[in-house]
Chain A
Amino acid sequence: MDPRAAPPAAPAAAGGAPHITVRGLAKRFGEAVVYDRFDLDIPRGRFVSIFGPNGCGKSTLINMIAGLVPADGGEILFGGKHLADTKIGYVFQNYREALFPWLRSIDNIEYPLRLAKLPKAERRAKVERLVAHLGVKIDLNRYPYELSGGQQQLVSIMRALVVEPEVLFLDEPFSALDYEMTLFMRDQLQAVFDETRTTTILVSHDLEEAVYLADHVLLLSRRPARVADLVAMDLPRPRDAHTLSDPDFVRIKGHCLDVFQREVRKG
């Protein structure tokens, strides 16, 4: 079993033309080789969850794709385009440090539109449409620090979505929230995806969450990271609490866990 043989074939098997193609990606932190000749295809309009052992470079991968961390080598294209010509949205784990506390929530959401030099009326209209779309019931005139953690992360997600991104990145977006809020936010995110069908990449440290939300679960190995498996998750949407006890869900989650544990043990 040469894990290097697996990656290019697997995503293609998932169907559809790839949206994001990663070729020959290389990244090292000092002595540690995190990525070396790493290839990956991410299909268009699908929800991909990334899961893997601690420190394997899950966040580094999406940060390199999103341009937040420079890669040492390799090429990343979005439907043949470079990042500079691609609209992306990014949701950070730490919403408290990612939102701008000096702006009201609505101005936070409008900020990327202001960067794009949209006139005020258009900005407001876009936000209002998004609010209606998502059925958000937050007082957006409040400052972020006046909102609950879940509400703040929802504002972050809206800020990422308001530009109608081609790709939405989420880096462990719910890990700072309590369980009740996490469950609620998962369904909000699922609703967003159902509505927009934006290519979405989620890094999660929670296997249940990763499988529950995904069309494909990307399982990474220990460093240097390779694709350990790319598991299709075809259960119909919208998924709900019953999905969690569905035999197929349990089977897929079990399989992911097996692969994960095999990778952990290898280290």
Chain B
Amino acid sequence: MKRQALLPIVGVVALVVVWYLAVWVRLVDPVLLPPPEKAFAALVQGMAGGRLGYDFWRTLERTAYAIAIAAVIAIPLGILLGANEKAYRAAEFVIDFFRSTPASAMFPLFLVIFGVGDKTKILVASFGAALVILFNVAYGVMNARKTRLLAAKVMGASRLRVLTDVMLLESLPQTFVGLRNGVSLALVIVVVAEMFIGSIDGLGYRVFEAQQLFNMPEMYAAIFASGALGYGLNLAFMLVEKRFVHWAGK
């Protein structure tokens, strides 16, 4: 049991070893690939009171706003569409089309409408995340167990009560799938947006700037910080899901 828990560390150690080897045999130009301890030192220094910590916080903030806006719009809409299958079929093509459209292709449009600044970054990310959430919530509602809906109906629940007491909860596991996918997508979009559009902070900006200045340890540090943020967000949603959707898969 204990050994099993240690297995993930093997992968991390292997990665560091390969990295060291690559540096040692000069597989890559040392300017482009610093030794791991240098990148790690930059990560620790940057996060503990340095600029990187601030950028990390800014990216987290934008992603959080994006996912919050997306959830507030997409969850109720998804429930309404899911509860009314005809409405969903009518909207399905539009949803699928824009869900398949790379959200980054929307930047110029949003830039024109909302200008250069946080609004555009957050709203493009919201747009991408909202469609993913909407799609998942609607399917969660549509796939509600028929027996459970009948059970509520036979006990005398009105259509509204069936919606609030059964469909809503039935869709929760799928809603969390949508939220987790949505937050991953939102982070991708926010980081990309921070790289380009007149940015002055954020992890995307930090990665880009470090690269421009050829400060490779700092660039790797910012990349790892982004990875940690993505992983952490996913983990946070999983923990919340476990707490609130305790019945999932049972």
Chain A interface (Cβ < 8 Å from any Cβ of B): 66-68, 88, 90, 92, 94, 97-102, 111-112, 115-116, 143, 145, 159, 163
Question: A115 contacts which chain B residues (CB < 8 A)?
Answer: 155-157, 161
Does B169 reach chain A (CB closer than 8 Å)?
yes
Q: How far does the Cβ of A59 sit from chain B's closest Cβ, in whole Å? A: 12
Known interface pairs A68-B154, A102-B169, A112-B155. Does A92 touch B250 (Cβ–Cβ under 8 Å)? no
CB closest chain-B residue, reference A87:
B156
Q: In the bound complex, how far is the Cα of B245 from the Cα of A198, in angstroms?
A: 37
- By DSSP majority rule, is chain B's interface helix, strand, loop, or mixed? helix
A111 to B157, CA, bound (A): 10
Which one of A68, A88, A99, A143 contacts B150 once the chains associate, using CB atoms below 8 Å? A68
Q: Closest CB-CB distance, A42 to chain B, in whole Å?
A: 18
Determine the chain B residues whose CB is within 8 A of the CB of A145 once the complex forms: 247, 250
Q: How far is the CB of A66 from chain B (nearest CB, A)?
A: 6
The verdict on B242 contacting chain A, using a C-beta distance below 8 Å, is no
Q: From known contacts A92-B147, A97-B145, infer whether A116 and B154 are also in contact, taking CB-CB under 8 Å.
A: no
* 7 shortest interchain CB distances as A-B pairs: A101-B247, A145-B250, A97-B147, A112-B155, A90-B154, A98-B151, A97-B145
**A88, A94, A102, A112: which contacts B147 (Cβ < 8 A)?**
A94
B89: interface (CB < 8 Å): no
A100 touches B150 (CB 8 A): no
Contact (Cβ within 8 A) A90 B151: yes
Contact A102 B247, CB 8 Å, known A115-B157, A116-B156: yes
Question: 5 A-B Cβ contacts within 8 A?
Answer: A92-B151, A97-B147, A98-B147, A115-B156, A145-B250
| Cβ-based interface call for B153 (8 A) | yes
Other-chain residue from A90, A100, A112 in contact with B148 (beta carbon distance below 8 A): A100
B246 at the interface (CB under 8 A from A): yes
Identify which of residues 120-147 in chain B touch chain A, using a CB-to-CB cut-off of 8 Å.
145-147
Closest CB in chain B relative to A153 CB, distance in Å:
13
**A94-B147, A111-B155 known, 18 other contacts, Cβ within 8 Å:** A68-B150, A68-B153, A90-B155, A97-B145, A98-B147, A99-B151, A100-B148, A100-B165, A100-B166, A101-B247, A102-B247, A111-B165, A115-B155, A115-B161, A116-B156, A143-B246, A145-B250, A163-B155
Closest B residue to A144 using CB positions: B247
Q: How many interface residues does chain B have, given as a range? A: 20 to 34
Task: Report A-chain residues with C-beta under 8 Å of the C-beta of B165.
Answer: 100, 111
Shortest distance from the beta carbon of B35 to any chain A beta carbon, whole Å: 51
Complex Cα distance, B148 from A66, in Å, reads: 15
Q: What residues on A are CB-neighbors of B157 within 8 Å?
A: 115
CB-CB under 8 A from A99, the residues of chain B are 151
Q: How far is the CB of A130 from chain B (nearest CB, A)?
A: 15
Interface hits, B159-209 → A, CB 8 Å: 161, 165-166, 169, 172
Residue in A closest to B244 when the chains form the complex, CB atoms: A102
Bound Cα distance A102, B157 (Å): 17
B154 proximity list for chain A (CB < 8 A)? 66-68, 88, 90
Enumerate chain A residues within 8 angstroms of B146, measured Cβ to Cβ. Answer: 97
Q: CB-nearest residue of chain A relative to B168?
A: A102
Collect the chain B residues with CB atoms within 8 Å of residue A68's CB.
Answer: 150, 153-154
Bound together, the chains give a CA A163 to CA B155 distance in angstroms of 9
Q: For the complex, what is the distance from the CA of A88 to the CA of B245, rounded to whole Å?
A: 31
Q: B219-250 vs A: 1/0 string, CB under 8 Å?
A: 00000000000000000000000000111001
Q: By CB atoms of chain A within 10 A, which of B146, B154, B172 has the most?
A: B154
Contact B148 A97 (CB under 8 A): yes
| Residues of chain A contacted by B145 (CB below 8 angstroms) | 97
Q: Which residue on chain B has the smallest CB distance to residue A162?
A: B155
Whole-angstrom CA separation of A97 from B156 in the bound complex:
18
